[in-house]
């Protein structure tokens, strides 16, 4: 496997247990609420298949589990399959790490890339992750996600077209 | 290479006015900032400081811009860790926007963006320190506004 370097890191502290955060990251009951209606399919083992699916059944992201250590660490390869243009993007790696922090947990999301990815393309994750993880925190702490409306940034779409 | 800087975005179910108040009211700051509080009237040109509970000064500076409830810019220097103080003044910009949300889902939210960078050349220690601190402070701030309680104590 090529060398993946962290390029975007997002940390949030959530008043919940590590088990609850793990469940929210790995089950559709939760992802549907905080991750723009996406269902998650994940085989609970190293090398298992991973996918995020849109409500119409289309695969948005596909990958493989490369770290599976509940409730501490989950790492998946991340190949965007929809929208179609995004298939040109080399796969990246998304890692979630969960650690106790007093009565809460620290959740760290790291997006790592194996190539010299332009800032314009990184803007996609840097725009999306704060909304997704803010919504996840709200869902676990209040029972209600945040419904932030968002499109991929224009600079990202243009940079993908140039690939 | 761009200068070392820190950017953090969080979405909070609140209003810009309530968020502005939470960012500028010393008693509220104390609740989510682990006992640290601010001394300032948060008007453009005013002095600003962060104080520990025991009265020691954590940071000092001045308010460069205050546009309630939208934008706050603080000139900011650490005072209690010599290696951070040595990096001189930084600039912290806080921007509050209404987030686009799906109105039929009750998801009304505010977007808070924090941008923090050191004014001059630096070894990046100050930015490293605030990169660890901001997520803690802002996670607690979000919890306080959404649930009336903070997420955790240090």
**pLDDT tens-digit series, residues B47-88:** 999 999 999 999 999 999 999 999 999 999 999 999 999 999
- Distance (Å, rounded) from C-alpha A100 to C-alpha B80? 28
How high does pLDDT run on average in chain A?
A: 97
Fill in the DSSP letter of residue A84. Answer: G
CB distance A23 to A14 below 8 Å: no
| B7 interfaces chain A, CB cutoff of 8 Å | yes
State the helix-helix crossing angle for A18-26 and A119-142, rounded to 10 degrees: 120
Q: Read off the pLDDT band of A73 (50, 70, 90).
A: very high
Contact B11/A149, CB-based, under 8 Å? Answer: no
CB within 8 Å: B139 and A12: yes
What confidence score (pLDDT) does residue B58 get? 98
Q: Which chain A residues are Cβ-neighbours of B135 within 8 angstroms?
A: 11-13
Q: Distance between CA atoms of B21 and B34, rounded to whole angstroms?
A: 18
Beta-carbon separation of B151 and A147 below 8 A? no
ipTM: 0.97
Q: How many CA atoms lie within 13 A of B130 on its CB side?
A: 24
What count of Cα atoms within 13 Å lies in the side-chain half-sphere of residue A129?
Answer: 21
The pLDDT score that the predictor gives to residue B2 is 67
| Structure confidence at residue B108 (pLDDT) | 83
Which of B44, B49, B102 lies closest to B71, judged by CA?
B44
**Within an 8 Å CB–CB cutoff, is residue B15 touching chain A?**
no
Any chain B CB within 8 A of the CB of A150?
A: yes
Q: pLDDT for B77-86, tens place per residue?
A: 999 999 999 9
C-beta atoms of A147 and B102 within 8 A:
yes
Nearest CA in chain B to A132: B11
| Tokens 């989510």 belong to residue | B32
pLDDT surpasses 80 at B134: yes
Q: Which of A59, A112, A64, A117 is nearest to A83 (CA)?
A: A59
Average pLDDT, rounded, for chain B: 95
Largest CA distance in chain A: 47
Tokens matching residue A95: 């890692």
pLDDT of res. B9: 98
Taking residues A87-100, what's their average pLDDT? Answer: 97
Taking 70 as the threshold, does the pLDDT of residue B132 lie above it? yes
Contact of B81 with chain A, judged by CB distance below 8 Å, is answered with no
Six token digits for residue B40: 């300032």
What average pLDDT does the segment A130-146 reach?
97
B152 close contact with A: CB closer than 8 A: yes
Run of H or E residues at A149: none
Give the tokens for residue B74. 């603080």
- Distance between CA A132 and CA A146 in Å, rounded? 8
Residue B1 has pLDDT above 60, yes or no: no
d(CA B19, CA B29): 11
User: What is the DSSP code (8-state) at residue A153?
Assistant: -
Q: Confidence class of residue B18 from pLDDT cuts 50, 70 and 90? A: very high
């Amino acid at each position: 496997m090529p060398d993946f370097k962290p390029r975007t890191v997002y940390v949030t502290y959530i008043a919940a247990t590590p088990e609850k955060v793990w469940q929210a990251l790995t089950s559709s009951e939760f992802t549907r609420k905080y991750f723009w209606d996406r269902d998650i399919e994940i085989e609970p083992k190293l090398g298992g298949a991973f996918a995020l699916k849109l409500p119409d059944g289309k695969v948005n992201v596909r990958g493989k589990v490369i770290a599976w250590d509940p409730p501490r660490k989950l790492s998946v390869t991340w190949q965007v399959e929809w929208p179609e243009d995004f298939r040109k993007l080399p796969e990246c790696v998304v890692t979630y790490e969960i650690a106790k922090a007093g009565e809460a947990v620290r959740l760290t999301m790291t997006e790592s890339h194996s190539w010299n990815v332009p800032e314009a393309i990184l803007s996609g994750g840097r725009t999306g992750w704060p909304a997704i993880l803010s919504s996840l925190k709200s869902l676990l702490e209040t029972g209600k996600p945040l419904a932030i409306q968002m499109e991929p940034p224009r600079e990202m779409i243009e940079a993908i077209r140039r690939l | 290479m761009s200068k070392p800087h820190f950017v953090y975005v969080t979405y909070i179910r609140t209003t810009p006015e309530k968020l502005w108040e939470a960012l500028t009211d010393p008693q509220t700051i104390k609740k989510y900032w682990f006992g640290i509080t601010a001394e300032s009237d948060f008007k453009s040109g005013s002095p600003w400081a962060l104080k520990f509970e025991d009265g020691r000064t954590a940071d000092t500076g001045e308010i460069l811009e205050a546009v309630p409830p939208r934008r706050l810019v603080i000139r900011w220097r650490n005072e209690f860790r010599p290696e951070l103080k040595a990096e001189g003044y930084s600039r912290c910009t806080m921007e509050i926007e209404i987030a686009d949300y799906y109105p039929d889902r009750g998801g009304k939210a505010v977007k808070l963006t924090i941008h923090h960078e050191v004014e001059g050349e630096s070894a990046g220690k100050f930015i490293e320190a605030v990169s660890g601190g901001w997520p803690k402070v802002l996670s607690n701030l979000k919890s306080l506004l959404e649930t009336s309680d903070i997420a955790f104590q240090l």
